[in-house]
A = this chain, B = another copy of it.
């Protein structure tokens, strides 16, 4: 069905999705659709033809991001690096994909299941596994959970507020590197006290998903 689209239409669709990622991550779920269209360099009508309403667009963005995520994962696996390096590559990819854009979309605005089945696999589960491998190999400190990875990546994928800051993306990648250094076992060894706050694992995300599902 996608291949039956005219080439220019296909291209426009992709540009819309890309612009939507940027705008959603900057302004949240309620971002003006006009701006997304403008940023994509297409008319507003084009956006509406491709995605009949806001929800469809959010869903489209989520599927797009999640499947690119899965692709990134396969690339990382294929590269056969050690697990820490894999984690590093994956997190940088997630920042570039602006994964934070799907986060607000999860607020019951569309079904997570739909987006996941669209992507085919669940990146969160695969990340969980990768993190486990890195910890077993002694390359990542034992007291962090998958949430410590994902939620930081979500933060880093948003632009700094006020758009006064040039090189926003590069700054995020630099901060990610420092955070990654904080994930190493040596970093934990100098701690005086235990890591505070809510330790967020896989189960936590399931609880959130359930809560969202319950909103219907």
Contacts and interface: CB of A to CB of B under 8 A. Distances in A.
Interface of A: 25, 27-29, 100, 103-107, 144, 147-148, 151-152, 154-156, 158, 160-165, 167, 170-171, 173-175, 177-184, 186-191, 195-200, 208, 211-212
Copy tally for this chain in the complex stands at 2
B174 A198 contact: yes
A17 to B, nearest CB: 18
B179 A107 contact: no
B103 A162 contact: yes
B186 A190 contact: yes
Interchain residue pairs A-B with the least CB separation, the first 10 = A182-B182, A174-B197, A104-B162, A181-B187, A187-B187, A181-B182, A170-B197, A104-B161, A178-B182, A107-B162
A177 B151 contact: no
Given A174-B196, A197-B174, A161 B162 contact: no
B170 A152 contact: no
A154 B148 contact: no
Contact of A179 (B163, B164, B182, B188): B182
Contacts of A107: 162-164
Nearest to A209: B164
Contacts of A184: 187, 190
A61 to B, nearest CB: 13
B170 A198 contact: yes
Contacts of A181: 181-182, 187-188, 190-191
A193 to B, nearest CB: 9
A165 B181 CA distance: 26
Contact of A158 (B161, B164, B175): B161
Nearest to A197: B174
A115 to B, nearest CB: 14
19 contacts: A25-B161, A28-B161, A28-B162, A104-B164, A151-B175, A154-B161, A155-B155, A158-B158, A170-B197, A171-B197, A173-B196, A174-B195, A174-B197, A175-B179, A178-B182, A181-B187, A181-B190, A186-B186, A186-B187
